[in-house]
Structure 1
Amino acid sequence: MAGLKETPRQRMIGLMYLVLTALLALQVSNAVLEKFIFIDESLQHSVHVSRDASSKVLEAMKKKVADEGNDARDLAYLKKAESVKEETSKMIGEIEKLRADLIEFTGGRDPKTGELKNGKDYDMVMNYMIGPEGSKSGKAYQLQADLNNFAKKIAEMDTALGKQLQTRIALEASEMEQYKNNPDHKGKDFAQINFGNTPLVAALAIMSEMETQVARYEAKALEVISQKVGQVVVKFDRIEAKVSAESKIVAAGTTYKATMYLAASSSQITPRMSSSVGAVKVENGVGHIEFKASGNNYDKDGNEKKTWQGAITIKTTRGNDTTFKVEQEYIVAKPVIQIQSATVKSLYLNCGNELSVQVPALGANYDPSFSAVNAEVIKGAKKGDIIIVPNAAKVDLQVSSGGTLIGTEHFPVRLLPKPDIEIFSGTRALDLKVGGPCPRSLTAKALAEQSIRDAIPKDARYKVTAWEITLARGRRPIGTPMKVTSETVDITQFASQAQPGDRLIIEIKNVKRMNFRGQTEDAKIGSPIFTYSIN
């Protein structure tokens, strides 16, 4: 289409498409960025778990050395282990400081929400971590040097470490299997491959992964050293108590699922597992946990933080039990209850108010049951459909799923407004203001407001069942008033007696309403009177 002239309207439509595309891309970006935040939190948790396990290894080494009489060779190995711990803390501390400095450089966090102000920004990240194009002056280059110096220093502490540990852990793209043959990446250096075109949240997750790599390096080094002072730990490639949850945020009434396991390569161990939330099913060394999540103390955002604890016990090669403990935080999110009805804002007294109550977060697991204060609840034909019949000024509807309370919805209750009374002659309403000739028949109808007919049509059926018609001349009635018990009545006898200046006086004595059950009751309308002038 290049070269064709476009009208202003066509150019405007094209611009709208571009804006819409950008908005859609922004929405996708937000969802992806949120995942990076969860990844970063998970990696940070993994670092803490790994370092705690390493601290236990070091404490076990100290005890073993003391039990063996503080042999000089054992003390030398213990000193190396302490040096490994110290160098690891320094390296992780450096990365943590760099994380904090990067956050500050990119605008910091919102003081109210704690969220990153510029989590999606990558220009400032590149400027800080890589530096101006071609300068290689960014902080990532010093980080690469420090990471490799850390690895080299640890590997050179002992011959056994040199045989099992790499001396370079911060690599160029050309040194990495996944990138070295990729024409788009193989020429990139460490800073570019990690922080090029990378939003802030992703950069933080990358640095968390570097911390886990450092923590794994520490764990491996301590394992190698500990083996030289006696088998103070079970010979695994890695020992960590781990928890993997399908989701950290779950809706009340849904099933929380998590896997708790000992990250070990040995097939000779049968661990015993327990948790504070119920039994743990152990299969092939992996523990499976399931329990119904529930909440009763939600914050203003509808979330409640909770924790559960687990324990994994194994026998070491020396025959004694060792227990690893883990604590996992999860968040119970209050499900949103959606009420669909023509009368969502309020209910009507003694009427069958039809509601559809859904909880989208529960999906196919939604198994609703309902109870109410000051109302009768009648189950409908479809899942979530109910009829509420209020009997007081306020109704509290409790919504549960599978026996778990989801929440309580509160409704004010209104009285039905009085129906309108209209008098017809045939199919035309009497003109009570102007008057006219005396009709030969009259019909009295009671009609609910249109909004009531739309909201609760089965409770908006009215019928005039008693009314009285009088032909009056001056101050005196002409003849006997006609008492009527049907909606339509023949008044030919009045028409034959009527003279110009006379009046028809119509008084409504009783109106009945039929409710959704097909039962009738008196409608409280008073005794409205209508006057029709005959001329």
Structure 2
Amino acid sequence: MENTQDHLKQTQRKKRFRRFIRFAIVTTVMLLSVSTWYYTRFRPSTALIDKFVMINNAIEHSLANLKNTSDNSLKSLKADVKKNGNARAGLEMIKRAEQLKKHTAEMLGEIDKIKQRLINEAGGGLDPQTHTVKRPKDQFYTYRDMIGLPGGEKGMAYKLEKQLKAYNNWVNAEYKDLLKDKLAPLTKVGGAKDTKDFVRHNFRRKPIVLVLAKLSQLQHQVLEDESKVLNKMQSAVPFNEELHFDKIYTGVSAERSVLRSGETYRASMAIAAYPSRTKARMTVNGSPIKVEGGIGKVRFKTTYPLGKKTWKGTITFKNRGRDTTFRIEKEYIVVPRMK
């Protein structure tokens, strides 16, 4: 009887063990099936990964060229302003260009921090042989860092989205006088009728090498926008040519305009010239006067007391981008009116 009971217990244990084994096998098969489906559905091939790496390298190379172009644009702007006399408008434009480059460098730096964190944490660091991340197909850690896991903190992509919007809004507001049309939003995805979420569209279910390429592309867009504004600045600076005195007229300057009978009249005759393209501003005794063809029309009524008087004038024009002013003093004599 006891042997029969022992046999039944062993049989039941074997049945439970077999059920457990079957369950384990079925579970393993299901996991393998899900894993295979996931990797074939969402994991890109090695060939595709290599293409992403190549694209990122090309964008990185272009970034270096754009940065050099930007630096040279600022140097060229400074040189042109200095050549044209360091005019106030030119110096102000240099300040605005330096401010733009500062904000751009800060934006690029924020994206570089994200790329470096992804490389070190999600990518496992750089492979010294391939010069790319050690885990080029990683999606899980990339998703965790960029978007965030359920129940956890939001990933870096959400902060990046706000920073890109802030930078774009600042540039459009600060340089609206130079931009004919506003710069396109850096976070825009899709058309007007087919807008997509910036974060999920760019960073959800994407391998790390593709995310790195996207971040490099965003840096490229930032530098392209900066370049557009810098080009507008260079064309907006009032670079003036040297004066060309191309208009000629004759002039007479008398030493005295009132003489007694028998006195000698003395005067100087000369050929005078003036630049027709220069818009001169003239004043007499502090008040502006009309200028026609580069010649100011001096007219004012004389007043008491009688005798010798002096009127003062100024002629102001731009030369090499800077205001140049000549001052004039001319004597005249007021005599009583003859009745």
Give the TM-score range, shorter chain.
0.5 to 0.7
**Rounded Cα–Cα distance in structure 1 between residues aligned with 2:210 and 2:164:** 19
**Rounded Cα–Cα distance in structure 1 between residues aligned with 2:42 and 2:143:** 20
Which residue of structure 2 lines up, in the alignment, with residue 341 of structure 1? none
> Is 1:109 the equivalent of 2:126?
yes
> Is 1:228 the equivalent of 2:245?
no
2:50 to 21, 26, 34: 34
Which residue of structure 2 lines up, in the alignment, with residue 169 of structure 1? 186
**Rounded Cα–Cα distance in structure 2 between residues aligned with 1:137 and 1:27:** 24
**Rounded Cα–Cα distance in structure 1 between residues aligned with 2:68 and 2:155:** 32
The 3-state SS of whatever aligns with 2:174 is coil
Structure 1 pair 231–213 and aligned structure 2 pair: CA distance change class (3 A)? farther
1:201 to 209, 214, 229: 209
Is contact 1:155–1:165 with CA below 8 Å preserved after alignment? yes
Which aligned pairs between 1:261-410 and structure 2 lie closer than 5 A? none
Q: Which moved more, 1:87-96 or 1:105-114?
A: 105-114
2:67 to 51, 57, 62: 51
| Per-residue deviation, residues 214-271 of structure 1 (Å, max 9, x unmatched) | 0101100101111111579xxxxxxxxxxxxxxxxxxxxxxxxxxxxxxxxxxxxxxx
Structure 1 pair 80–112 and aligned structure 2 pair: CA distance change class (3 A)? same
| Large movers: runs of 4+ above 6 Å | 17-28
CA root-mean-square deviation = 3.2
Is contact 1:154–1:161 with CA below 8 Å preserved after alignment? no
Which aligned pairs between 1:56-135 and structure 2 lie closer than 5 A? 56-106=72-122, 107-111=124-128, 113-133=130-150
Which residue of structure 1 lines up, in the alignment, with residue 200 of structure 2? 192
Is contact 2:89–2:238 with CA below 8 Å preserved after alignment? no
Is contact 1:152–1:167 with CA below 8 Å preserved after alignment? no
Which residue of structure 1 lines up, in the alignment, with residue 169 of structure 2? 152
Is contact 2:183–2:225 with CA below 8 Å preserved after alignment? no
Which residue of structure 2 lines up, in the alignment, with residue 450 of structure 1? none
Which aligned pairs between 1:458-469 and structure 2 lie closer than 5 A? none
Deviation (angstroms), 1:202: 0.2
**Rounded Cα–Cα distance in structure 2 between residues aligned with 1:221 and 1:117:** 39
Instruction: List gaps (5 residues or longer) in structure 2.
Output: 1-25, 241-339
Instruction: List gaps (5 residues or longer) in structure 1.
Output: 1-10, 233-535
Q: TM-score, normalised by structure 1?
A: 0.36
Structure 1 pair 153–21 and aligned structure 2 pair: CA distance change class (3 A)? closer
More strand by share: 1
**Rounded Cα–Cα distance in structure 2 between residues aligned with 1:166 and 1:70:** 30
| Per-residue deviation, residues 198-223 of structure 1 (Å, max 9, x unmatched) | 10000000001101100101100101
**Rounded Cα–Cα distance in structure 2 between residues aligned with 1:189 and 1:124:** 20
| Per-residue deviation, residues 54-108 of structure 1 (Å, max 9, x unmatched) | 2222111101100111111111111111111121112112111210011112122
Which aligned pairs between 1:524-535 and structure 2 lie closer than 5 A? none
Structure 1 pair 225–27 and aligned structure 2 pair: CA distance change class (3 A)? closer
Structure 1 pair 114–39 and aligned structure 2 pair: CA distance change class (3 A)? closer
For residue 216 of structure 2, what is the amino acid of its counterpart? S
The answer to which structure, 1 or 2, has the higher relative contact order (CA under 8 A, 6+ apart) is 2
Is contact 2:66–2:223 with CA below 8 Å preserved after alignment? yes
Is contact 2:176–2:182 with CA below 8 Å preserved after alignment? no
**Rounded Cα–Cα distance in structure 1 between residues aligned with 2:50 and 2:119:** 16
**Rounded Cα–Cα distance in structure 2 between residues aligned with 1:144 and 1:23:** 29
| Per-residue deviation, residues 320-376 of structure 1 (Å, max 9, x unmatched) | xxxxxxxxxxxxxxxxxxxxxxxxxxxxxxxxxxxxxxxxxxxxxxxxxxxxxxxxx
Which aligned pairs between 1:407-446 and structure 2 lie closer than 5 A? none
**Rounded Cα–Cα distance in structure 1 between residues aligned with 2:57 and 2:116:** 15
Deviation (angstroms), 1:154: 1.9
Is contact 2:43–2:207 with CA below 8 Å preserved after alignment? no
Structure 1 pair 130–21 and aligned structure 2 pair: CA distance change class (3 A)? closer
**Rounded Cα–Cα distance in structure 1 between residues aligned with 2:120 and 2:52:** 19
Structure 1 pair 21–193 and aligned structure 2 pair: CA distance change class (3 A)? closer
Q: What is the aligned-residue identity percentage?
A: 30
More helix by share: 2
For residue 103 of structure 1, what is the amino acid of its counterpart? I
**Rounded Cα–Cα distance in structure 1 between residues aligned with 2:40 and 2:201:** 27
**Rounded Cα–Cα distance in structure 1 between residues aligned with 2:48 and 2:205:** 15
